[in-house]
Structure 1
Amino acid sequence: MSGIGFGGEPRAPYASDPRASRGRLFDEPESPTRTPYQRDRDRIVHSTAFRRLAHKTQVFVYHEGDHFRTRLTHTIEVAQIARALARALRLDEDLAEALALGHDLGHTPFGHAGERALNRAMLDHGGFDHNAQTLRVVTSLERRYAGFDGLNLSWEALEGLVKHNGPLTDTAGVPLPVHGEVGPLPYAIRVYQARHDLRLWSHAGLEAQVAALADDIAYDAHDIDDGLRAGLIAPDLLAGVPLVGGILHEVRARHPDLELGRLIQEVTRRVITRMVEDVIAETLARIAADRPADADAVRHLARPMAAFSEAMAEADRGIKRFLYAHVYRADSVMAVMRNAEQVVQALYAAYTAAPAEMPPEWRRGLDDDDAGRRARRVADYIAGMTDRFAEIEHRRLFDATPDLR
């Protein structure tokens, strides 16, 4: 395959090279028309889990209007930003896009509310983590191919999905702190690592790193957008928010009579542009300083190579603090999310008590007394549900369903 990217520029030496891929867990013939990373992207797009993202919560559940992001529209926005970053840095755009498209496949119905509920229910059986569940989806739960379970993605795609936020262990295999806390590796990652070494002690390739930053950028911009549209925040409240406040002032100075819809679009568009440009500048500076010879050199550095500048990282933290206080923790949002957690908790209890309530393919083989196996099967089933189907199932199994509006 050629080393020339879509923009006509040669792929950088520190980029992931599809010709040097470590391959797949199950050997397959090479495609004459697609690189390994193009096949990864295509397999993700055609997966059942990807389609279901259209009906999974981002912040607002599906009842609340069709102008808000779903998990799928968020994913598409992340992919667009990741591809733009990869093109500017001369990385493999297909791998960056594949990782962006696949990064949320393990999300539960009702977003992080569903994840919290499943994690509590699963505490005695390894817990539940949506990032680890993504690995489980692409290596086990998708059933599309005659020769193997999962999507049989390339090693580089799998490591990117697992390590896009950085190494998970030290070189001795001891888990590193996550959000300041040290705990065991998530169940799905621990199980898969015993089968297929993803080098959890190293950074992922640059394509995974830019996909992770693209996720942050998309979150910051579109959750401001959705919060404004939902009436949870007013434009004037943004004046003191790092980066956003300055951009709001610029737009109002240039377009003083701009209607709200256009004002929102102009501000969020400029937020994305500033953050993308910052990542490109900072990453190029780190590349010039560290001079990585190839993709493996990127993995072995002591710090991530793709990053915000210090000033932009602080702005990103400030935006997230603002969104947490005014959008994610808003009373109206929290009321719905508490009810959503009740729905997921009740479904988990119902299926673990009576697996016959699940479809035949999900309850098959659960006749023994292995509580851990049963719990994991139930968690897998619930995690794959859309918001709407979870609500339908709750109405089927219970006399009253919490209000999700």
Structure 2
Amino acid sequence: MLAPYACQPDQSRGRLFPEKLSTFRSPFQRDRDRIIHSSAFRRLKHKTQVFVEHEGDYYRTRLTHTIEVAQVARTIAATLGLNVELAEAVALAHDLGHPPFGHTGEDALAVLMEPYGGFDHNAQALRIVTRLERHYADFDGLNLTWETLEGMAKHNGPVIGPNASGSHSVSDPALMPYALAEVNGRIDLELSTFASAEAQVASVADDVAYNHHDLHDGLRAGLFTEEDLMDLPVTGPAFHEVDQMYPGLDPMRRRHEALRRVFGVMVEDVIAVAQNRLQASQPQSADAIRAMDGPIIRFSKPLYQNLKAIKSFLFTRMYRAPTVVVERKRVTAVVNNLFPLFLKEPGLLPDEWQADVAAAADETALARVVLDYVAGMTDRFALQEHERLVGGS
């Protein structure tokens, strides 16, 4: 039984290209399945989360991160009476637009694309699922439901308007990433409102997952130690609790037990806050959630402040650690070399991309084709192409 404020599958606003309903799957289940079977989803296996994918088999990749986000989203959505399949679909799709080398690759492409409409991985994900996945006979893309597309566009909050404040928001609609503007021109995603509660769950699940696994990966990489975490909020109390319950515990088990408690604190906080806010506001439809002046799914203010302290620690000790910075410079050079090379010599793109090259009416259109190709690369393929075409990395 879904709550009244959940997205009801029989009330979906439909798809860009109408399709017959499945006899045994809801529209959101079909979205989830199409995302999992997409080429872009498979490529996440060899895309960076923090560490370049070849640096170690134990570190998270963009794919394992996405699976963890989906697991958290399913748990929270089910507890709150939301549509689990929609929350999972948005979670599985939220990082499809990430280029090789994670945020480092995104930063490089954003600079390179400044003359051509910019680059934003969130908007690129929408471009992938509406244009670049070309497997079906009747349409380009995956032809996902309006609700899934809306969730992909707005899971971090409204993109435009008075409530726009998320990481992908813009102060002026004219500054909207071209990939998002193109999709929104075809199917109005109501970018000035909040997304469904299911999409908000996917967004918070993203925060839960990376806060948890970045601590784990940073410890495994030796960028900091358990002792460094003892003075931080949330992590320090978690280690103290484990030490009291299991004195002398094996170090690896101690680490796991502490970090699973950190994970639990975050999930339980989100659920408790959402239950209180839902009880207070009594929304009677998914649109009532969208019309609110703030997100219904979020951390409590005390935990949010504590997580800011953890993120600040991770930024200094992990994301900007000397070894990571060295690798960032190296892979930035790879992107900075490949993009202008393909722009200057588009004949170097594979044969299946030449029709798009021929259809490009001007340099901006050509740059966007090159972007689609480069952004779709995995870490290893980008490094291999750089070695082949440039002669080293």
Q: TM-score, normalised by structure 1?
A: 0.94
Match of 1:23 in 2: 14
Alignment of 1:150-299 (within 5 A): 150-170=141-161, 178=167, 182=171, 184-299=175-290
Instruction: Give percent identity, aligned residues only.
Output: 52
SS at match of 1:29: coil
How far apart in 2 are the matches of 1:177 and 1:99? 17
Match of 1:149 in 2: 140
Residue number among 94, 98, 101 corresponding to 2:85 in the alignment? 94
RMSD: 1.5
Superposed displacement of residue 182, structure 1: 3.4
Match of 1:350 in 2: 341
How far apart in 2 are the matches of 1:319 and 1:41? 32
Superposed displacement of residue 364, structure 1: 2.0
Superposed displacement of residue 18, structure 1: 0.3
SS at match of 2:284: coil
Match of 1:4 in 2: none
**Contact kept in structure 1, 2:126 and 2:180, CA below 8 Å:** yes
Superposed displacement of residue 254, structure 1: 1.8
> CA 1:274–1:154 in 2, change beyond 3 Å: closer, same or farther?
same
Match of 1:44 in 2: 35
Superposed displacement of residue 186, structure 1: 1.4
**Contact kept in structure 2, 1:343 and 1:394, CA below 8 Å:** yes
How far apart in 2 are the matches of 1:365 and 1:212? 33
Unpaired runs of 5+ residues, structure 1, are 1-9
Structure 1 position 82 matched with structure 2 position 82: no
Superposed displacement of residue 366, structure 1: 2.5
How far apart in 2 are the matches of 1:177 and 1:202? 12
SS at match of 1:366: helix
Residue deviations 1:236-287 (CA, integer Å, cap 9, x gap): 0001212111111111222221222212211221111111110010001110
**Contact kept in structure 2, 1:24 and 1:155, CA below 8 Å:** yes
Alignment of 1:296-375 (within 5 A): 296-367=287-358, 370-375=362-367
Residue number among 380, 397, 402 corresponding to 2:372 in the alignment? 380
SS at match of 1:197: coil
Match of 1:5 in 2: none
**Contact kept in structure 2, 1:167 and 1:202, CA below 8 Å:** yes
Aligned AA (1:399): G
The more displaced of 107-116 and 58-67 is 58-67
Superposed displacement of residue 177, structure 1: 7.3
Match of 1:106 in 2: 97
How far apart in 1 are the matches of 2:53 and 2:168? 30
**Contact kept in structure 2, 1:206 and 1:295, CA below 8 Å:** yes
Aligned AA (1:352): L
How far apart in 2 are the matches of 1:179 and 1:126? 15
Superposed displacement of residue 60, structure 1: 0.9
SS at match of 1:308: coil
Aligned AA (1:378): V
Superposed displacement of residue 63, structure 1: 2.2
Superposed displacement of residue 363, structure 1: 2.6
**Contact kept in structure 2, 1:170 and 1:176, CA below 8 Å:** no
Residue deviations 1:184-230 (CA, integer Å, cap 9, x gap): 11111111111110000110000000110000000100000000000
How far apart in 2 are the matches of 1:366 and 1:46? 26
SS at match of 1:107: coil
> CA 1:116–1:80 in 2, change beyond 3 Å: closer, same or farther?
same
> CA 1:179–1:122 in 2, change beyond 3 Å: closer, same or farther?
closer
**Contact kept in structure 2, 1:282 and 1:309, CA below 8 Å:** yes
How far apart in 1 are the matches of 2:61 and 2:41? 12
> CA 1:129–1:240 in 2, change beyond 3 Å: closer, same or farther?
same
Aligned AA (1:39): R
Q: TM-score, normalised by structure 2?
A: 0.96
**Contact kept in structure 2, 1:175 and 1:185, CA below 8 Å:** no
Unpaired runs of 5+ residues, structure 2, are none
How far apart in 2 are the matches of 1:155 and 1:44? 14
Aligned AA (1:381): Y
**Contact kept in structure 1, 2:242 and 2:258, CA below 8 Å:** yes
**Contact kept in structure 2, 1:58 and 1:74, CA below 8 Å:** yes
> CA 1:101–1:178 in 2, change beyond 3 Å: closer, same or farther?
closer
How far apart in 1 are the matches of 2:169 and 2:88? 30
Query: How many positions carry a matched residue from both structures?
Result: 390
Aligned AA (1:295): A
How far apart in 2 are the matches of 1:112 and 1:16? 32
**Contact kept in structure 1, 2:157 and 2:164, CA below 8 Å:** no
SS at match of 1:165: coil
SS at match of 2:119: coil
Superposed displacement of residue 371, structure 1: 0.4
Residue deviations 1:172-191 (CA, integer Å, cap 9, x gap): xx976758973511111111
SS at match of 1:327: helix
How far apart in 1 are the matches of 2:11 and 2:213? 36
